[in-house]
Structure formats: structure tokens, C-alpha cells
Amino acid sequence: MQLLSATPSCAKSCSLSPPLFWQKMDRSGEGYKSVDKTQNEERKFLKCFVPPLMAAIVALSPLCNTPVSLGQTMDARKGATLFHRACIGCHDGGGNIIQPGATLFLKDLERNGVDKEEEIYQVTYYGKGRMPGFGENCTPRGQCTFGPRLQEDEIKLLAEFVKSQADRGWPSIETDGE
């Protein structure tokens, strides 16, 4: 019986002979083994070959690779919580109940020149138009919120959150009571 020259390295490392479909039948027709023995060898060979193949598929699958780190996920949740606490009164779902042309939707942010995180941060900190500022050092006094002020890192999280939601089209915002 002759073997094909391409014997996979897995067969060598598992010390198994290649399965029947890699064998050539000799001219007399005697080269095939019994079906039970061949199926056993094929199963053993596949047990050696399939796990590394599946590991490679899983590792390269976009379903298994999270697009963001745990820290970014926590920041997004904190941003959503801050948004619910400080902004949702006027900007529910990304809209604007006070000034309809100043929504948090990407098209309005772009039109109003506030489509980058830094610009969103500045407007949130110091205010603009009818929107009050929430920063600790916001001035002039009449432009700033009468409510609780936000820390700089909180405003940064808010700006990141607003930008990410605008980029995604403002899907519904869910928090788990944080």
C-alpha cells in the first residue's frame, strides 16, 4: 500500500496514521482496511486536528473579541449615569426640548460646530446659548447651572458618552441603577 506524500504534521505529532482517504488503494484492491478500523483512525486523527482548528476560528472570530475594554465599558456606564442625572431633562434620547436645532444628534452637532469630544466638553463645562455650563469654574455666573457642578473627569466622561451616542445614532440608553 502506498501513502500520499503529504502527511500532515498533526498525524506525526499524534502518532496516528493518516485516515483512509489519504491512502491509495493498491492495484489488487487489497489496500483498504476494514470500515470500523478506518473510522476509528479517522476519529482519532480528527480529534488531533480539530481542536487547534477550532481554537484558531474562535480566536479570530469577531464575536469573541470585544470591541472595548472593561474600563471603557465602565466609563460608558458612568457616562450614561451622569447623562441621566444632569442632561436627560433637556436632552432625552439625544433631542433638545428647549432648542430643537441644538440636539445631540450628529447632524446637529456638526452643523453647530460641536462634533468633537473636546468641543462637547467645552460646551458642557462653560455652557453655550441656552445651555448652562456644569463646570466647577464656569463663568459668567448667569451662564452656569444653579444645580450641582460636575468634576472635570465627569464632564470628560459625559463628552465621550455624548459623542459615542451621536456616532451610533442615539440608541435607547439603559443603565442598571448606578
* Contact (Cβ atoms closer than 8 angstroms) between residue 57 and residue 80: no
Question: What is the pTM for the complete model shown?
Answer: 0.57
Query: Which run of H or of E encompasses 121?
Result: helix 117-126
- Per-residue pLDDT reduced to its tens digit, 94-116: 999 999 999 999 999 999 999 99
**Which residues does 154 contact at the CB level (< 8 Å), separation at least 6?**
78, 82
**Which residues does 112 contact at the CB level (< 8 Å), separation at least 6?**
101, 102
Q: Where are the domains of the chain?
A: 9-60, 70-168
What CATH code is assigned to 70-168? 1.10.760.10
- Confidence label for 23 from pLDDT (cuts 50, 70 and 90): low
* Contact (Cβ atoms closer than 8 angstroms) between residue 73 and residue 133: no
